[in-house]
Structure 1
């Protein structure tokens, strides 16, 4: 299987690990240490060897920050993880402040650090931008943030796993839509126009996109972990373990780039300084260690946003075509799963793990699945109110009568990456369930049908999906939509539909549409499809070019959880049309029993 359900951390272990770290800090003459949930690539997707925050605290969410002081410790998390963190960490040892709200981690440090305190941090794990925030806090509090050469957690983590050496493979141009040579020419053009000699790229997904390769260093995301230096003249250099390169990958990459071992990367940085090169880096994603090393070597560091993230986000026609194909394959598996669930759940005896295993098996049966795009969020009853719940053997819950079941899942296919959420009722829903689900659906439809001027950002679109919840005094504490890669990261920037989404959406970008509602301890609701941004026809009478969304995911939305009157005519018309297309696309690929279920599930309201 591509996922497992074992407990990956044990909060009781923090009682022995925290003192080990504190003793190490005393030997370093430090009063505290910051533990970000990231690695030297500033990556969301971590190999086991980089899960330092989980090792120390037990928290396994995808975003967080730890702080250890002499007598206090904290784990900062955002709104997705406020319930999860309290279940995973020892609350006698760790406070759990909000990462963003109520002043966030910065406000907590301002309120709790004192003059003269020395707080250590690993400069390889903090971006240039993040260290600037620390420096500002230091000026305001009188504390001092001290970079350390060796991470003290690594010194006390006795059974730390080895770094990954997953195989790299070329990604066909037929699926990428552009050759790697063309993309490397784009890099050189950017550098020449900006009068810059080189740029350092540390984001694995950008490196994978530029070279048209995919890797296998982290679970569920085909990333090759390595660093790359690109120059305005000549070939780039890729610092990556040779153990990851088979004969085909070595020959392919050898035609594009010089390949060196990761141990050579510091010398590669020093060589840029020897020639006093003007070196571009993105302060939001490149580590402070790299920036410091460049400056010490004599390079001129030019801080600027990584333009290739934006290029990668604008999917080619081939990538959009691939996304449609991936969603067709995945949609059939999802329809088969929901039909099976509707037959089996009322009988009793079904639980979260059994459901997740069944869905994975159905995806495997397509013959096209390369991996899951993330561990399935298979959440029954009150667990569905935890937005990023991960089922384990210890938390596994039965799917009970008259309750909601939420399944958020996706697959990695060579054609594209999928991510879809459906909330279904087992038995009879309460009026409140129907009411809340209908409000979520109205927001989903409003966003799916939006037209918006060129230049509109995700932050400007975000309220559209929340409007109907807001009118009822409700909201949800996560973004409405994230970017999606093309057989890459299931969470991709820089585009996002959220209060913090400052990047304008452009044609070719793929984003999720996933408003939700969560009633802690009772149930949660989320309806998620993926959409691609398209150019739209000029609106009659309009005078500005507009964009629109094309929905890519076609799987029934549970009609039993919809109040037709509350839904309204426009949203009802959209839903009936959506279900008609779903039936047309999926029915030919289903057996008689599943086709009969689909016909009923897509009946017009």
Structure 2
């Protein structure tokens, strides 16, 4: 079971495969009278984790990261990735075929505008692009005499002879004790967000699963069912889902409050809505351009906006918050058992990145509640730790010796989703490492201790985590924190702590707090806990104020901390946190781990 998790995507191309596949794609484009094609790493819902049948970018290029975009022209091609993958992409692709580019420096749209010839016809699959994405391309191509051509079928699908079928994972009802609110109550709440529209087309499976209190198994690591839904201002919602995913019991439960429809009927239903001149809301972030254009072509009025479930889903209710806290206690005990085991085993030189990750999942499984890991474990030693989203394979698997080991992992439990990163040193930490580690820790503590007024967004807090790195001329190229779902996606919007995090933070939201530092070719450091936004009462205060409750429980490696770089307040926070970890977890772990935990959480 475990071995497959550390293999590169099964249909990812080798160098020779990629050359043949690229040549075949170009031949097919020529046959269709096209001069290029857009290849996003996306499915029809813009999911982070996509079903195997949607891994077209990996099939074509060999790149297996969770975010990427390729543009193929007649004689050249480029692949675009963000800062997390600039190293990985070069390791996985053939640079003679695809030019790797940092998407923050060069956008696919601008590159296409610069490289497509006058009069070029560029094809795209309207099911895997949003309207906003296509509009960005169109704007960049203004005056270039380049035409974007929506295709009826994705040409890669015809070339991919062993393409997996569409997933039909079983759908289950999410128990009320974990959901905390009925589907009927949620539907009433969502209708308040229609803002005069006749209906909302829900294209985000996370929102659909939350709204209807269901969970599925169509993609790895996230318990969602791939589906669309139509929420009218009156009458029963429609859920467009493959009937093969529903047993009789689940079907009966859902039919009490909604109408079940096969996905193949969605186009016809939107066409009918368009003929009636209806206004339909579409999620700007996830709605396929195909659906928006179907309504518009039939005479309807599409309105691009936020999914009405996006914000309500992000603000967890009491049951969801209670579940998250309980899940983190169990998860913390498992992680602490792993860290104690690792501290004993790693110096003996017998561990590898894969065996360490296998052991961590074993500890999690032993608590009896694990449903899945919440993302592929980042088990990274030495230089691999400097790759923020490194994914170990049998080929890349390093033996762990003296040096830095980073493990970023998480779990899916019925009552909550976890995500935690710890960085530890095998052997003595160098002075440089201690300084870098402590600067990252100071940023982590700054977020954990932050107090801020109502209305503040994550973008306004992001610099808190970077200040001490900036003072040393250092930084990191990912956001400080992302939202986390309630037994849903480990990466949830709209809340986040980053330069782009414009959504105000509201009590009940769960976010990660994970500053880092990455020294290419040497080591990486990331320290991550999850936090809940909560109200804060400040004596004499004149504003409604918020702060964070830290819910992740696991020791930080004190051997990497340089107390001389910390303030008394920072040391006080760390000692208080470690005392809480020790008190909470000690009764839940074995005697050997308990002994290690006492030392690992000692006051400094």
Instruction: Assess same fold via TM > 0.5.
Output: yes
Match in the other structure for 2:77: 73
| Cα contact 2:356–2:379 (8 A) shared by 1 | yes
| Cα contact 1:556–1:579 (8 A) shared by 2 | yes
1:55 deviates by: 0.6
Match in the other structure for 1:579: 578
1:540 deviates by: 3.0
Q: Secondary structure at the match of 1:307?
A: coil
**Aligned ranges 1:446-485 → 2 under 5 Å:** 446-485=446-485
Match in the other structure for 2:183: 180
Distance 1:443 1:95 in 2: 35
| Cα contact 1:130–1:284 (8 A) shared by 2 | no
Distance 1:119 1:59 in 2: 22
1:85 matches 2:112 = no
1:7 deviates by: 2.7
Match in the other structure for 2:45: 41
* Deviation digits for residues 183-238 of structure 1 (CA, Å, limit 9, x no counterpart): 111223333xx222111001000000000000000011001001111111100111
Match in the other structure for 2:206: 205
1:155 matches 2:158 = yes
Match in the other structure for 1:115: 118
Q: Secondary structure at the match of 2:39?
A: strand
Structure 1 residue ranges, 4+ long, deviating more than 4 angstroms after superposition: none
Q: Secondary structure at the match of 1:66?
A: strand
State which drifts further: 513-522 or 135-144.
135-144
1:91 deviates by: 1.0
**Aligned ranges 1:219-368 → 2 under 5 Å:** 219-368=220-369
Question: TM-score, structure 2 length as denominator?
Answer: 0.98
1:134 matches 2:137 = yes
- Residue segments in structure 1 that go unaligned for 5+ positions in a row: none
1:261 deviates by: 1.3
**Aligned ranges 1:539-550 → 2 under 5 Å:** 539-550=538-549
Match in the other structure for 2:217: 216
Distance 1:388 1:480 in 2: 14
* Deviation digits for residues 103-140 of structure 1 (CA, Å, limit 9, x no counterpart): 43333233323321111111111111111101101214
- Residue segments in structure 2 that go unaligned for 5+ positions in a row: none
| Cα contact 1:138–1:145 (8 A) shared by 2 | no
* Deviation digits for residues 385-407 of structure 1 (CA, Å, limit 9, x no counterpart): 00001111100001112x00000
Distance 1:377 1:210 in 2: 31
Distance 1:365 1:284 in 2: 38
| Cα contact 2:8–2:64 (8 A) shared by 1 | no
Question: TM-score, structure 1 length as denominator?
Answer: 0.98
**Aligned ranges 1:515-554 → 2 under 5 Å:** 515-537=515-537, 539-554=538-553
1:76 deviates by: 0.1
| Cα contact 2:555–2:581 (8 A) shared by 1 | yes
1:544 deviates by: 1.2
| Cα contact 2:71–2:112 (8 A) shared by 1 | no
Distance 2:74 2:429 in 1: 50
Q: Secondary structure at the match of 1:4?
A: helix
* Deviation digits for residues 224-262 of structure 1 (CA, Å, limit 9, x no counterpart): 001111111100111111110012211111112111111
* Deviation digits for residues 140-181 of structure 1 (CA, Å, limit 9, x no counterpart): 433221111111111111110001000000011211111100
How many pairs were matched up? 600
Match in the other structure for 1:557: 556
1:484 deviates by: 0.2
Distance 2:7 2:81 in 1: 23
1:271 deviates by: 2.1
1:432 deviates by: 1.0
State which drifts further: 372-381 or 134-143.
134-143
Q: Secondary structure at the match of 1:533?
A: strand
**Superposed CA RMSD:** 1.1
Q: Secondary structure at the match of 1:141?
A: coil
1:454 deviates by: 0.6
State which drifts further: 494-503 or 274-283.
274-283
1:273 deviates by: 1.8
| Cα contact 1:110–1:140 (8 A) shared by 2 | no
Q: Secondary structure at the match of 2:309?
A: helix
State which drifts further: 426-435 or 139-148.
139-148
Distance 2:388 2:196 in 1: 46
Distance 2:183 2:124 in 1: 37
* Deviation digits for residues 459-515 of structure 1 (CA, Å, limit 9, x no counterpart): 111000001000100000111000000000000001111111111111101000000
Distance 2:434 2:109 in 1: 40
* Deviation digits for residues 508-535 of structure 1 (CA, Å, limit 9, x no counterpart): 0100000000011110000000001001
| Cα contact 2:129–2:289 (8 A) shared by 1 | yes
1:395 matches 2:396 = yes
